[in-house]
Structure 1
Amino acid sequence: MATAHPFETLTDEYDNWFETNNEAYRAEQAALERILPDESPSADNHALEIGVGTGRFAAPLGLSIGLDPARSALERARNRGVDPVRGVAESLPFADGELDLALFVTVLCFVDDLEATLSEAHRVLGDDGTLAVAVLDRSSAVGRVYQEHKDESPFYADAEFLTGEAACRELERAGFVIEDRGQTVFEDPATLDSETTPFREGHGDGLFAVIRASPAP
C-alpha cells in the first residue's frame, strides 16, 4: 500500500509552521513581493502558484489560482480565497500561453521530474509572462543544516535541495532568462526577529533564495 504524502496527512503541522516562525514567513513573503513584477497579480491575469499548499503565499500575494496534489492542503487554500486546482507540476492542466504569472515557492526540491516541471511552466506562460521561484538554498549556512538533518523531517526527507545558482542554471536550460535574484533568512528561522531579516541581492548566504525569470524571446 502506498504511503500517504505528509503534505496530505500533516496539513496542520505544515500550516502551523508559519505561525510558529512568523518572522521568517514575513521575510519570505516580503522577498517574494520584491521579486514579483511591479503590476500586482489579480484574478484577471491568470496568476498561478504551482504547489500552492495551504495558500500561505498565494493568498497574500494576490495569486488567484493554486495547484497542488494534496486535497487537504487545497481545502485550506480555498478557505484563504485561492481557486484550487488538483494536479501535479509535471502536467499542468492549462493551455499553452494561458498564464501571465507562475510561482514556485520551495517546490522544486519535491518534484519528481524537474526538467518536465520547468518545461510545463514555460509552456503555460505567455510570451510576456513571468516565472517567480523560491528555493531553500543548500549552499547557505542554514541550508546546509537543513540538508544535514532533512531525514529527520517528515516534510523534507525526500527533498532534493537546490542551490540558488543551480536553480538559475536549470531555469536557463529550460528556456528562461533570469531577470532578478535575491535572498533572505540568514539565520535559523526559529530565532529570527524583524531586525535580523534583511533582503539582499544575489544568492549563497540566505536560506530563502528568490528568482524572477521570463521566457526567452
Structure 2
Amino acid sequence: MTEGKRAIAQAFSRAAPNYDQASHVQQRVGEQMLALLQAQPGPVERALDIGCGTAALTLALTPHARCITALDLAPGMLQVARSNDRQRRLAAFVCGDAERLPFAPGQFDLVFSSFTLQWCEDLTTALTEIHQVLRPGGRLLLSLPVENTLRELRLSWQRAEQRYQHVNQFLSRAQVREHVERSGFHLLQWQEKLDVAFYDNVRSLTRELKTLGAHQVVSNRNRALTGRKTVFKMMSAYEHFRNHQGLLPASWHYLVMLLQKPDS
C-alpha cells in the first residue's frame, strides 16, 4: 500500500465511529443512486460495494442482490460495518483496494460505489479492475465528486496561502468521461448533480470534513501544522461567500453514472 493510501485508510478508520452522523451529503447521493437502481431489472445474484464505509448504503442494497460483498480500504470502517450488520445480511467483508481487487474475473453481476473512487491514484486502473470482476453484461453504478466540489473552501485557502494545497483537486467531467471510455464500459446513464450544504461558520464545515475523513489531502499538502494567522485569513476570505440568510455554502458537484460491461 502506498503512503497516500495508508494515510487515507487511517483517516477513514478514525472517522468511522462518527461517520454516519456527519455524512448528510453522502446519504443524499446514496438515496439518488438507490432510486436509479430501483428502475433496473433485478434482483441480481452477486453484488460488490466498493467503499462500503459503515455499510449504511450496503445494507440498503439487499433488496437488489441476493449475495453482497462489502469492501473498504479502511479497517476501522469495516469494523463498524460488521457491527451494523446485526442480522448478518451481507455475505463478506473484505479489506481491499479498488485498484487491486482481490476477486476472480466475472464474479459479480453488479458493482456499486458511492463517493469512493475519487481517492484512487488512477481512475482508469480502478474502472478496469471493476470491469474485470464483472460478468459480461454486468453493471457498475457509480458516483463521485468532480471539479468545483468544495470550491468555496479551496478559493478561500488559496487567498490565504498559495504554496500548499488544502483541498483536494477533483477530476473534471471530461476527464471522468475519458477514464470511462478507456476502461471499456458502455455508458448507460450520466447525471450531473449539485448539492449545496450550509453552515453557520467555517469551523463547522471543517469539523464535519474531518469527521468524514474527507479532510485528507492527497498531494502537495503542508505536512506541518498550518499557522493560526493563515487559518484566520482563510476564514476571513470564506466570509465573502456568506449568503443573505447568514449561512456559508459548501458546494458538492458530482456525477452519478450507470455503466455496463459489454456482453462479449
Q: Note the alpha carbon deviations across 1:136-172, whole angstroms, 9 max, x for none.
A: 1224xx5423654799xxxx96844223442222111
Aligned to 2:205: none
Residue pair 2:70, 2:94 contacting (<8 A) in 1 also: yes
Unaligned 5+ residue runs, structure 2?
A: 159-164, 201-250
- The sequence identity of aligned pairs, in percent, is 25
Q: How many residues align?
A: 192
1:90 to 99, 105, 111: 99
Residue pair 1:48, 1:67 contacting (<8 A) in 2 also: yes
Q: Which amino acid aligns with 1:173?
A: R
| 1:38 counterpart = 2:40 | yes
Aligned to 1:208: 254
| 1:127 counterpart = 2:129 | no
Describe the shift of the 1:114–1:25 C-alpha distance in structure 2 as closer, same or farther (beyond 3 A). Answer: closer
Q: Which amino acid aligns with 2:146?
A: D
1:67 to 51, 57, 71: 71
What SS does structure 2 have at the residue aligned with 1:207?
strand
- Provide the C-alpha distance between the structure 2 equivalents of 1:165 and 1:174, rounded to a whole number of angstroms: 15
- Provide the C-alpha distance between the structure 1 equivalents of 2:157 and 2:118, rounded to a whole number of angstroms: 12
- Greater helix percent: which structure? 2
Residue pair 2:47, 2:111 contacting (<8 A) in 1 also: yes
Unaligned 5+ residue runs, structure 1?
A: 192-204
Q: Which amino acid aligns with 2:61?
A: L
What SS does structure 1 have at the residue aligned with 2:113?
strand
What SS does structure 2 have at the residue aligned with 1:188?
strand
Aligned to 1:198: none
TM-score of the two chains, using structure 2 as the length reference: 0.62
- Compare CA radii of gyration and give the structure with the larger one: 2
Shift of 1:207: 2.1
- Provide the C-alpha distance between the structure 2 equivalents of 1:209 and 1:85, rounded to a whole number of angstroms: 26
1:105 to 100, 109, 114: 114
- Provide the C-alpha distance between the structure 2 equivalents of 1:116 and 1:176, rounded to a whole number of angstroms: 13
Q: Give 1:1-217 correspondences, 5 Å limit.
A: 5-18=10-23, 21=24, 24-36=25-37, 38-41=40-43, 45-62=45-62, 64-81=68-85, 82=90, 83-139=92-148, 142-145=149-152, 147-148=154-155, 159-188=168-197, 207-216=253-262, 217=264
